[in-house]
Every structure is written in C-alpha cells, then in structure tokens.
Amino acid sequence: MSASTSRFAGASVLVTGAQGFIGSWLAERLLAEGARVVVPRRDAPSDSRFRLEGIEERCDVVDADVTDLAAMSRVLAEYEVGFVFHLAAQTIVGQANRSPLATFEANVRGTYTLLEACRREEGAVEGIVVASSDKAYGTSDDLPYREDHPLHASYPYDVSKACADLIARSFAETYAMPVAVTRLANVYGPGDLNLSRVVPGTARALVEGRRPVIRSDGTPRRDYLYAADAVEAYLAVAGSLDRPELRGRAWNAGPGEPVSVLDLVRRLVRISGRALEPDVQGDGVPVGEIGVQWLDASALRDELGWAPRWSLDAGLAEAWRWYERVPAPLRS
C-alpha cells in the first residue's frame, strides 16, 4: 500500500458513479483502504459489478441526485465527507449522440452542482477529483495527447467532458479549492456491462459462441487501461491535493501503447480459446468517435509516481475469466 493512498483509512469518501464500472472498482479499493464510502444513488440498476460483487452492501448508499444542490449539500454535511471522487456521468458515445440534452444535464450540470456543494462546505472537503476523459481533447494530428493540448471536442459526449473538465479547473482557480481532473484512456476489465464497448461486447459474443462484431472497419486505435491501474491513478491524484501547487491540474493516465480495435478483439478471441473470426461490419470510423487517440502520461508518472502495472494481454485475460464466470448479466 503506497503512502499516497494510506490517508484514506478512516476517511469519509464520496464516490459518485460508484454503481458504474470504474466507480465500482474505485469504491472497492477505498473500502480496502478502510474508508467509509458514501454513494449517492439516483437509479439502482439490477445488473452491475457494484451489486454483483457485494460492494453495494459495504457502502453507505443514499438517495440523492448529483444535479440536486440541496441533496448533495446535505450528503456532504451529514456524512462529513473529506474526499470526493466525481465519476457519475452518461458515458456512452452513441447514447450521447441520440440524447445530447440528457448527456449535458448529467455530465455538465452534475459537475458544477457537486462542485458548488463542495465550495459551500468552506474547506471541509480536502480533495476533489473530477473524471474528465481523453475524449475531451477531440481529434488531433499531434499525438499523443499531452495535458497542455487544447480541448477541441466536437461531439456531444466529448464536449460534455471538456465542459466538466474546464468547470472543475475553474473552481480550483477561482476559489482555491483542492480540485484536480483525470483524463483516462479507455478503461476495461472485469465487470463492465456496457455491451456497446468493445471488450464486454466481444466477451458476450464469445461466451455465447458467436463471432464478435466490430462496428468500425477495425482500424481505430486506442489506449486501453486496466481498471485497477485506473483506480491507482485516481488515488495518486487525490493524494496530491494537499499540495496547493498541484491543485487545478489535469492528469493523463494511460499506457501510451495504442492498438487497433481489430487487434484488441483478436487478442481477446485468442485468450478465450474460441476459434471465431471477428465480423468486421463497419466502413471507417463510426460517427461521433475519434479515429486515433492515445495519451502521454509522463507527468503522472514523473511527478506522482504512477505507472500502469497490467499489460494488455494480462488485463484481457482477467476480464475474460470474469465474463466466463459471470455470464448471466450478459444475457439480460
């Protein structure tokens, strides 16, 4: 256990979006640290890693919407929250294209509402980490993305994350609040049930003995970050916020090793042992998605000592074992 994360033992920590994939991993890790994990809940999905792995019953789950200022202020005060990790968001690109208003409501309003609630606590919250995304950078020929790259987002999901990113850093600058932003690569691993994503979608097909479908032409290249490494990045950033000079920073986290979608799918097919060739159905890059993107995470490595520990093949093998063991939710 690193010195940067030991501070969470005994702390009251608010994790928005804990019922989601990455949030469930973060909540589980904080519980292992000895933190009291407080989770605001608007909906209660029946199928989630948060519930399936028994994480929910170990947290303080409260009925509150992150877009409700009074509710969030009450939660922060009543639970004496010391740290906040804001991961709650609408995270699916295709859904954002179909329903931009709902995406902006969740991702933008939810962010400024929670930050305002924290501001009104007048210093009670020691650290706030807001989840942005590599998608906030938009399309660029200058790769890998560095934290000083401009945010040139175009599509609804990307724009919503860029807005949340700027809003978070605005609160840090204007009100001297202990806020930082994370921009993560594509996170994968056991427990992701969003089947429109390439790893869970491929796993579901393989579990059911079907050829995995690729919606693009297979050429888009991405950086893939294992969930446990993503969580360590969140904790490293949170642990830095007692240093005023690091507040208001944005931090990239990714392995810096982009692979094509087709390569990723073939790796998972090989790991599964299924003799199934991917079904490439797309023509180019789907609308609303970025063709090539990956991150330079040297700042997080050099300044905070973070580095990914999981190779892509090792992470995919862990993910496959989970999907093979827990197939029922994949068939819902």
Catalytic residue positions, numbered:
157
Cα 295 vs. chain centroid, distance in angstroms? Answer: 15
Q: Cβ contacts of residue 302 below 8 Å, gap of 6+?
A: none
> Six-digit token pair at 171?
């609160």
| Angstrom distance (rounded) from CA 169 to CA 249 | 7
Q: Pairing between strand 224-226 and 279-280? A: unpaired
In contact, 118 and 126? CB cutoff 8 Å: no
In contact, 175 and 312? CB cutoff 8 Å: no
| Angstrom distance (rounded) from CA 232 to CA 148 | 22
| CA nearest to 322, candidates 196, 203, 178 | 203
| Angstrom distance (rounded) from CA 112 to CA 164 | 7
> Six-digit token pair at 4?
């940067």
Q: Cβ contacts of residue 240 below 8 Å, gap of 6+?
A: 4, 180, 246, 249, 303, 304
| CA nearest to 268, candidates 322, 327, 330, 206 | 206
195-208 CB burial, b ≥16 within 10 A, e <16: bebbbbbbbbbbbe
Is 72 strand, coil or helix? Answer: helix
| Angstrom distance (rounded) from CA 137 to CA 329 | 33
| Angstrom distance (rounded) from CA 15 to CA 6 | 17
HSE-CB of 238 using CA atoms within 13 angstroms? 30
| Angstrom distance (rounded) from CA 315 to CA 104 | 32
